[in-house]
Structure 1
Amino acid sequence: MPPLSPLPFALLQNPVRRYAWGSPTAIPALTGTTPDGTPQAELWLGAHPSAPSLLSGDGGPQPLDRLIDADPDGMLGPDTVRRFGPALPFLFKVLAADRALSLQVHPTRAQAEAGYAAEQARGVPPDAPERVFKDRGHKPELICSLGDFEALCGFRPAAATARLLDALGVLSPWATALRTRPVEAVLPELLRSGLHADAAELMAVTDSLRRAAAAGGPHAASCAAYARLAAEYPGDRGLLAALLLNHVRLTAGQALYLDSGVPHAYLRGVGVELMANSDNVLRCGLTPKHVDVDGLLAVTSFRTGEPEVLVPRPLGDGAGPDSGAGINTGTGVEEEFPSPAEEFRLSRLRPGATSVRVDLPTPQILLCVAGQAWLRAPGGAGLALPAGASAYLRPGAGPVELTGPGAELFRATTG
C-alpha cells in the first residue's frame, strides 16, 4: 500500500449509511454538504469492514481497516493489539433519527460466542434474514445527545408501568400481574405475550395512547411518544413491548450507556454514538426484520429501574490515573462520559485559544461538531478540523497540540 504521511494524524472521509428512519438534513448540516432528499441515518467513523472510513495520505485515501490489517502495531499500538487483537475495538458514529429505530437488545460476550458458534454449526448463511449472531462480540454502547433526544431504555419499575396502564385503561391483566407477582417472573411473560398480540389488541392500545396523549396529565408525554411509534410502525407488536420501557428525554450533552441485555430504542434526535465493534442485535419490534422471540428472551436482562442519565465529568490535572489517558487537562478542557466498557471511552473537548497537548498512547478519533479546531504536530505541520470533520490519530507518534476558540470536539479511544 502507498506510504502514510509521517504526520501522526490524518483526515477521515466517512461513509453515510442510509436507513429509512434517518434524517435527510441533520448529517448534511453537520458536515456542510447539500442534502439530497434521502434519509441519512448514520455517519460511520472507524474501521468496520462493511463501511470503513478512508484515511487521507500521500498515496490518496485508503480504507482504514486495510491500513490496520497491513500494520496493526503501527496503526493501533502494540498495547491495543495485545488487548483486543489486530482490529480497532470501537466504532464511532453520528446518529440522526427522524423516527424510531428498532427495539433491540445486545448479547453478552459469552452469549455472542455461543450463539455465533451455534449458527455456524447449523450452517446459517451470514446474510440470511434469520441470522442473529454476525460475530463473536458483545456490543455495549454509549449515546450522547447533540440536542433534544428521545429514547426508550430499560424496564420501567413495575409500579410505574402499572400506573401507566391504568391511565390507558387497557391491558388490565398486565397491570394486575405487575402489582401482585415477582417482576423477574412476570416481565418475561408479558414481553412474550406482547410479541404475540393480535391486531385487535394492538388497535385498542393504539387508540388508548392517542386519547391519553391528547388528554394531558402525568403520562401525556410518554403516551405521545408511544402513539408516534404506533403511527410509524402500524400493526407492529413491538409497541406492547415498548410500553414496558422507560421513556427518556435527553438534552445536549447528556448521555446513556447501554450494557448487554438492556432493551432500548432511539426514537428521534441527533447524537454521537460509540460502541464496541460488533453487529450483534436481537430485535423485539419496531422493524420489518426478523424477531427471534426465544433468542430475545434468553439474552434480555429483566432488571427494572430508571436509567442513569450521564453528564460529562471534568478530568484531572493531566497527571495520574484520572488524567484522561492522552489529554493534558491542566486547562480543564476535557470532560469524560463514564462507562465500564473496555473497548471504548468517550470524552468532550473545548480547547479554546490555549493549546492543549494531546498524547497518543492509544488509537483515537477526533470529531469536531462545532466551530473549528487545529491539530499541530511536532515540527509545526497542522491540520484544520472544521465542524463535521474528523481525524484519526495514530498512537506513539505524538504529542500533538489542539487549539480552537469556540470549538467543540468529541474524542473516541479505547477504555
Structure 2
Amino acid sequence: MTTVFKIIPTTQKYDWGKIGSFSKVAQYAAASKLPGFTLDDNAPYAELWMGTHHTSPSRLLDSPSQEKLSNYLAAHPSLIGARVVEGFKDDGAAEGNLPFLFKVLAIEKALSIQTHPDKETARKLHAERPNVYKDANHKPEMALALTPFQAMCGFLPLARIADYLVDTPEFAALVPQAIQERFLSVASTEDSTDPKVKKALKEVFSAVMTAEASLFQPELEKLIARFKSGGAKPSEKDVRDLVVRLDSQFPGDIGVFCAFLLNHLSMNPGEAIFLAAGEPHAYVSGDIVECMATSDNVIRAGLTPKLRDVPNLVAGLTYNSAHASEHLVAPRPFQSSSHSTLYDPPIPEFSVLRAVVPAGGAESHRPIDGPSIAIVTGGRGTVEWGCREELDISEGDVLFIGAGEGVELRSASGGDDLVVHRAFVEVK
C-alpha cells in the first residue's frame, strides 16, 4: 500500500465561474489531463473539488475502476490515522470521510450573499429540507488568494454603516425611521458585542433584506444612475465601483445594497481570510484555494438565481461588526521548513500549507499525523517519500498524502517555482 498517490478531482460549472481557459479550474484540469475532461471554451468553470464529500467525490487515478477515495480510505484507515479517525468519528472518518473539503474557485461574477450554519443549525436544516441542505455538518471556511481577489466579508464597523445611513438616501430609504434611530443611537458604542447593539444591527440588516421589490428597485435605479453620472459623495467613493459592478451582474437585486453593510476586502496572492459559521460574505472576483469542513451547506439571500432563504440567513448570523482585517489569517512559517507557510484557522477540521519552492530547490515537510490533499498550482517537479519512492508532479496534479508520511518536494531546474497548496488535519 503506497501512502502518496494521485487522485482525480471533479469540476463544477456554475454561472459565476470564469469562462473556458480563463478559469484556473479549467487550466488545472487541462494541464493535469484530468480523465474525462474536455475543455469547453464557452463553459463557466467555477470549482475544482478535492475530497470525499458525497456530492462530488474524488477518485484514485491509478485504480483500474477509479475507486472512490472514501472507499479506499475506509479499507485502509491507517492513511487517515488513528487519532483523526477517533477524533472525527462522528463525521464519518471511520468510513473513509475526510473532515475537510479542499477546492479551487475561479470567480468571474460575484457569489451569493451567504452564510454557513453552525452544527446545531445544520442538523435542523438538513432534517427539515434535506433536498436543499444536503448534509448535517457545519462549514467554517478559509479562502487563500491565488490571484488578486476581492470579497465582501463580515459586517462593517457600526460607525461606517451609520455614515451610509446618513449619507446615502437610497440605502436609508429601505430602513424604517424608528429602526434607523435605534441603530444610530448605539452606533458610536465601543462594545459591538453588546446585545442591544447586535439587535440594532440585526434590525437594519433584516429591514434591508426583506424590503419589497416595489421599494428597493426604484431606489437602486436612482442609486446606480447617481453613481454612473459622477454623483457619488466622498463617503460613498470607496463603495461606488462595487455597487455598479454588482448591479451590472445582478440587475435590480437586493444583494447590491449589502455593499453598504459588509466589509469590502481586496487581497493579494498568499493572503487568506477565515469565515466562521454565521458570518455573512460574498466572494466578488479572483481565483482562490478554499478549504472548509466537509459540507455543502449554504444559506443564500441575494446576488443569486438559486434558492434564497432570507429568514434562516437573518436568524443565523452572529452580527459581529469589525474591520475586514479581523477576518485575515496571519500566516507563519511551517516549523523548520524554508519555503512553506502555514495558515491555521481556529477550528480543528483543517489547516493549509503553501509551499513555494524555487527552481532547482527542495522542501521537506515533516510527517503530519493526519491525512492531506495537495494540489500543484504552479511549476513542476517531484514529490519523494519513504524509501526513495517518487512521483513526477506538475501544475494541476492533485495528491493524497497519508497520515505519518514525510515528503520532500523538489522543483525542476530551469523553470518556474514549484507551488503546492496542501490541506491537512492533525488532532492536537
Q: TM-score range by the shorter chain?
A: 0.7 to 0.9
The aligned residue for residue 331 of structure 2 is 312
Q: Does 1:378 align with 2:386?
A: yes
Asked whether the 8 Å contact 1:162–1:176 carries over to 2, the reply is: no
Asked whether the 8 Å contact 1:22–1:42 carries over to 2, the reply is: yes
Shift in alpha-carbon separation, 1:188–1:372, aligned structure 2, 3 A = same
Query: Which of 83, 90, 107 is the matching residue for 2:87?
Result: 83
Cα deviation per residue 1:117-158 (whole Å; 9 max; x = unaligned)?
A: 4x1xxxx4x32xxx3x32221100000111111111011012
- Distance in 1 (alpha carbons) for counterparts of 2:274 and 2:420: 19
Query: What is the identity, as a one-letter code, of the residue corresponding to 1:400?
Result: V
- Distance in 1 (alpha carbons) for counterparts of 2:220 and 2:165: 10
- Distance in 1 (alpha carbons) for counterparts of 2:81 and 2:66: 21
The aligned residue for residue 368 of structure 1 is 376
Cα deviation per residue 1:147-186 (whole Å; 9 max; x = unaligned)?
A: 1111110110121122234443323364655322453122
- Distance in 2 (alpha carbons) for counterparts of 1:297 and 1:40: 30
Gaps of 5+ in 2: 32-38, 187-195
Asked whether the 8 Å contact 2:210–2:310 carries over to 1, the reply is: no
Shift in alpha-carbon separation, 1:8–1:189, aligned structure 2, 3 A = same
Asked whether the 8 Å contact 1:199–1:235 carries over to 2, the reply is: no
- Distance in 1 (alpha carbons) for counterparts of 2:237 and 2:75: 55
- Distance in 2 (alpha carbons) for counterparts of 1:288 and 1:105: 16
- Distance in 2 (alpha carbons) for counterparts of 1:69 and 1:284: 37
Q: Does 1:108 align with 2:118?
A: yes
Query: Which of 346, 349, 373 is the matching residue for 1:343?
Result: 349
Cα deviation per residue 1:41-74 (whole Å; 9 max; x = unaligned)?
A: 0001111111111212353532212223333x13
Cα deviation per residue 1:312-364 (whole Å; 9 max; x = unaligned)?
A: 211333xxxxxxxxxxx2xx222111311111111111234135144242110
The aligned residue for residue 404 of structure 1 is 411
- Distance in 1 (alpha carbons) for counterparts of 2:172 and 2:51: 47
Shift in alpha-carbon separation, 1:102–1:212, aligned structure 2, 3 A = same
Secondary structure of 2:410's counterpart equals strand
Shift in alpha-carbon separation, 1:294–1:169, aligned structure 2, 3 A = closer
The aligned residue for residue 223 of structure 2 is 208
Query: What is the identity, as a one-letter code, of the residue corresponding to 1:346?
Result: V
- Distance in 1 (alpha carbons) for counterparts of 2:396 and 2:112: 26
For this pair of structures, how many residues does the alignment match?
Answer: 385
Shift in alpha-carbon separation, 1:64–1:165, aligned structure 2, 3 A = same
The aligned residue for residue 45 of structure 1 is 50
Report deviation, 1:400. 3.0
The aligned residue for residue 163 of structure 2 is 163
Asked whether the 8 Å contact 1:195–1:238 carries over to 2, the reply is: yes
Report deviation, 1:289. 2.5
- Distance in 2 (alpha carbons) for counterparts of 1:105 and 1:357: 34
Shift in alpha-carbon separation, 1:210–1:32, aligned structure 2, 3 A = farther
Asked whether the 8 Å contact 1:210–1:227 carries over to 2, the reply is: no
- Distance in 2 (alpha carbons) for counterparts of 1:399 and 1:346: 16
- Distance in 1 (alpha carbons) for counterparts of 2:307 and 2:29: 33
TM-score (norm 1): 0.86
**Greater CA drift, 279-288 or 171-180:** 171-180
- Distance in 2 (alpha carbons) for counterparts of 1:196 and 1:360: 47
**Greater CA drift, 211-220 or 242-251:** 211-220
Asked whether the 8 Å contact 1:350–1:404 carries over to 2, the reply is: no
- Distance in 1 (alpha carbons) for counterparts of 2:422 and 2:225: 41
- Distance in 1 (alpha carbons) for counterparts of 2:200 and 2:72: 50
The aligned residue for residue 146 of structure 2 is 146
The aligned residue for residue 395 of structure 1 is 403
The aligned residue for residue 137 of structure 1 is 137
Q: Does 1:57 align with 2:62?
A: yes
Cα deviation per residue 1:281-300 (whole Å; 9 max; x = unaligned)?
A: 21121122332332222211
**Greater CA drift, 157-166 or 272-281:** 157-166
Query: Which of 7, 17, 20 is the matching residue for 1:22?
Result: 17
Secondary structure of 1:37's counterpart equals coil
Query: What is the identity, as a one-letter code, of the residue corresponding to 2:227?
Result: A
**Greater CA drift, 144-153 or 219-228:** 219-228
Query: What is the identity, as a one-letter code, of the residue corresponding to 1:74?
Result: S
Asked whether the 8 Å contact 1:146–1:271 carries over to 2, the reply is: yes
Secondary structure of 2:349's counterpart equals coil
**Greater CA drift, 190-199 or 166-175:** 166-175
- Distance in 2 (alpha carbons) for counterparts of 1:205 and 1:20: 23
- Distance in 2 (alpha carbons) for counterparts of 1:302 and 1:229: 23
Shift in alpha-carbon separation, 1:178–1:66, aligned structure 2, 3 A = same
- Distance in 1 (alpha carbons) for counterparts of 2:247 and 2:61: 44
The aligned residue for residue 9 of structure 1 is 4
Shift in alpha-carbon separation, 1:357–1:162, aligned structure 2, 3 A = closer
Asked whether the 8 Å contact 2:8–2:59 carries over to 1, the reply is: yes
- Cα RMSD (Å) of the superposition? 2.2
State the identity as a percent. Answer: 30
Report deviation, 1:20. 0.3
- Distance in 2 (alpha carbons) for counterparts of 1:412 and 1:210: 45
The aligned residue for residue 322 of structure 1 is none
Secondary structure of 1:160's counterpart equals helix
The aligned residue for residue 285 of structure 2 is 268
- Distance in 2 (alpha carbons) for counterparts of 1:224 and 1:355: 42
**Greater CA drift, 43-52 or 279-288:** 279-288
**Where do residues 351-362 of structure 1 align in structure 2 (5 Å cutoff)?**
351-352=357-358, 353-362=361-370
Gaps of 5+ in 1: 1-5, 318-328
